[in-house]
Amino acid sequence: MASSHLVFCLACLLSGTMVKETLLTTPSSSLRVKQSFISAPVGGNVTLQCSYEGDDSAWICWYMQTLGQKPQLITSFFVYSTENNFYGAFKNHPRFSLIRENQTTYQLIISDLKMSDSATYYCAFNHAQVVSFAEGTTVIVKSSSSNVQTLIHQSESETIQPGHSLTLNCTVQTGICGGEHNVYWFKKSEESHPALIYSHGSKNDQCKRNPTTQTHTCLYNLSIESLNVADAGIYYCGVSLCGHIVFGNGTTLKFTSEGNFLVYFMAGSLTGLFLILLMFLVERLNKTYNRQATEPRFPDPSPQTTTVLVRPTCKNNSQNIHHF
């Protein structure tokens, strides 16, 4: 049963590289991780916790994904089974262990951390041939040496209108430690803790070397399109190189209501003008009506013509007849 489950998990992974959270939760199931970012020194220990609530007949899996690589299956187990299955390089590896606190909470413990343990770890569950992933936990392993000098510059704040696009800049200046390094972008808001939103490796065309000071200056950008108020927060740029990770002070993304204010102002102005015009017309009509009601009415002075019909009559009045 374990082998068939392994084949199924690997088939799901081969369909593509998992970079961001893939969430296919069913209405009756949910999967959560305790932390989205952990920084620990070489030789230390980290504990990754995953909580699952849902159908009892599910498999729980842990995956590891290094930057630019496909995820690797670390372990899988049946919810009501006591057997834990580790795979590949993690099989019989004493530094990786699994602890189940109860039937819903599972912990992946990595001991004696190595630089190669820096990666994003995903907890997933498999039920009814559907694999669903929780948000990943990024683990950064730091070297104990302190001879690396790295400076990161970010703009303090950016103000933008909703619906517009923005490009955040991160300028990294490294000391004598050049070569490849990884860049991480984190977002922190009032509703959530810092969470990884994007990561990428360095490219030669993004960096310039100063032969005088033997330093490297690299410029990285994060483009965000169709921004809305949910994107407000502080965006941190972090660089991992030579066993160290250094963060900038963060760029605060704010939204302005200037565009909405202009729309509301124009709408209010037009409404006000319409009401004033309407009141003026009503007042005019009212005055006209009152003036006509109070004016005295006189008879029409134009002459009237009366037509009298006279019927001719003949009278036989002998007294008025004269004979000659």
Give the pLDDT confidence of 228-256 residue by residue, as tens digits.
888 899 998 888 776 667 788 889 998 88
Asked whether the beta carbons of 154 and 234 are under 8 A apart, the reply is no
Q: Which residue has the tokens 């082998």?
A: 3
Give the pLDDT confidence of 30-40 residue by residue, as tens digits.
778 888 888 88
- What b/e sequence results for 230-265 when a residue is b if at least 16 CB atoms lie within 10 Å of its CB, and e otherwise? ebbbbbbbbbbbbbbbbbbebbbbebeeeeeeeeee
pTM of the model: 0.56
Domains defined for the chain, CATH in brackets: 2-142 (2.60.40.10), 150-256 (2.60.40.10)
- Rounded CA gap, 55 and 121, in Å? 23
What is the block-wise mean pLDDT of the chain (324 residues), using blocks of 10 residues? Answer: 44 37 48 82 92 80 85 90 89 90 86 90 85 86 66 88 90 71 82 75 68 79 89 87 76 76 67 85 79 61 52 52 49
- What kind and span of H or E run contains 199? strand 192-201
